[in-house]
Amino acid sequence: MQVTVTVNGEEYTRDVDTRLLLVHFLRDHLGLTGTHWGCDTSNCGVCTVWLDGVPVKSCTVLAVMADGHAVRTVEGLERNGTLDPVQEGFVQCHGLQCGFCTPGMMLTARWLLDHNPDPSEEQIREAISGQSCRCTGYENIVRSVRWAAEHSTVEATK
């Protein structure tokens, strides 16, 4: 079946199997490999992307469900060569080690900051609680998001 999905502002039209998962559509069909895959059961969250502005687990969405909708992936965080404060924050606060959970974590963080520009540690923990990280023990992820909150300008978050 033919689908047209807007990914990071660009429109892509592809012929896909109806059972194709969005995560595989992004990775295998569009070559956007920044979105990862890590489990069979919607638990790990490394596949997290935005669908129409809301974080979703792209292993649990069919590509055909994204037909006519807008997806934002980690590749769409940087704008015009400027890193999102969340990306900067993850570097400054050592919010990543292996980097496998990082794209999903950053997308959730961006969403959180868009809705709550000054989140508490508890609110950050809650926001990322559906996503696993096996390396960082979460502490530096929380600090990274705080860093981004403290260094966000209105411009950068648009």
Partner 1 sequence: MTTVETPMGYGSMRRKEDARFIRGRGTYVDDVTLPGMLYGAVLRSPFAHARIVSIDTKAAEAHPKVRAVITGAILDGLKLAWMPTLSYDTQAVLATDKVRFQGQEVAFVVAEDRYAARDALELIDVEYEPLPAVVDARRALDPDAPVIRDDKDGKTDNHIFDWSSGDKDATDRVFSEAEVVVTQDVLYPRVHPAPLETCGAIADFDKVTGKLTIWCNTQAPHAHRTVYAMVAGLPEHKIRIISPDIGGGFGNKVGIYPGYVCAVVGSIVTGRPVKWMEDRSENLMSTSFARDYHMRGEIAATRDGKIRAVRVSVIADHGAFNGTAQPTKFPAGFFHVFTGSYDLEAAHCAVTGVYTNKAPGGVAYACSFRVTEAAYLIERMVDVLAYELGTDPAALRMRNLLRPEQFPYPSPTGWEYDSGDYPRALALAMDIAGYDDLRAEQAAQRERWAAGEVGGTLMGVGISFFTEAVGAGPRKHMDILGLGMADGAELRVHPTGKAVLRISVQSQGQGHETTYAQIVAEELGISPDDIEVVHGDTDQTPFGLGTYGSRSTPVSGAATAVVARKVRERARIVAGAMLEVSPEDLEWEKGRWFVRGDPDQGRTITEIALAAHSSLELPEGVEGHLDATTVYNPPNLTFPFGAYICVVDVDPGTGRVKVRRFVAVDDCGVRINPMIVEGQVHGGLADGIGMALMELIAFDPDGNCLGASFMDYLLPTSMECPSWELGATVTPSPHHPIGAKGVGESATVGSPAAVVNAVLDALKPFGVRHADMPLTPAAVWRAIQGAPLRTDLAIG
Residues near 10 by Cβ (< 8 Å), separated by ≥ 6?
A: none
Applying CB under 6 A, does 12 fall inside the site for ligand FES?
no
User: In the range 126-155, which residues lie near ligand FES by CB under 6 A?
Assistant: 133-136
The single-letter DSSP state of residue 28 is: I
Binding region for partner 1 (CB under 8 A) out of 25-33, 61-69, 112-120, 150-158:
25-33
| H helices present in the chain, as ranges | 22-24, 85-92, 102-115, 121-127, 139-150, 154-157
Binding region for partner 1 (CB under 8 A) out of 24-32, 62-70, 112-120, 148-156:
24-32
Applying CB under 8 A, does 46 fall inside the site for partner 1?
yes
Smaller CB separation from partner 1, 68 or 106? 106
Distances 22 to 1, 62, 110 between C-alpha atoms, Å: 14, 5, 20
Applying CB under 8 A, does 1 fall inside the site for partner 1?
no
Q: Which of 100, 109, 113, 147 binds ligand FES (CB under 6 A)?
A: 100
Smaller CB separation from ligand FES, 8 or 140? 140
Residues near 127 by Cβ (< 8 Å), separated by ≥ 6?
A: 108, 109, 111, 112, 119
In whole angstroms, what is the distance from residue 143 CA to residue 27 CA?
A: 29
Applying CB under 8 A, does 102 fall inside the site for partner 1?
yes
Q: Which of 7, 16, 26, 46 binds ligand FES (CB under 6 A)?
A: 46
Beta bridge partners of 81: none
- Give the distance, in angstroms, between the CA of residue 138 and the centroid of all CA atoms in the same chain: 16
Residue numbers at the binding site for partner 1 (CB under 8 A):
17, 19-20, 24, 27-28, 31-41, 43-44, 46, 73-75, 77-78, 83, 87, 90-92, 94, 96-103, 106, 121, 124-126, 128-142
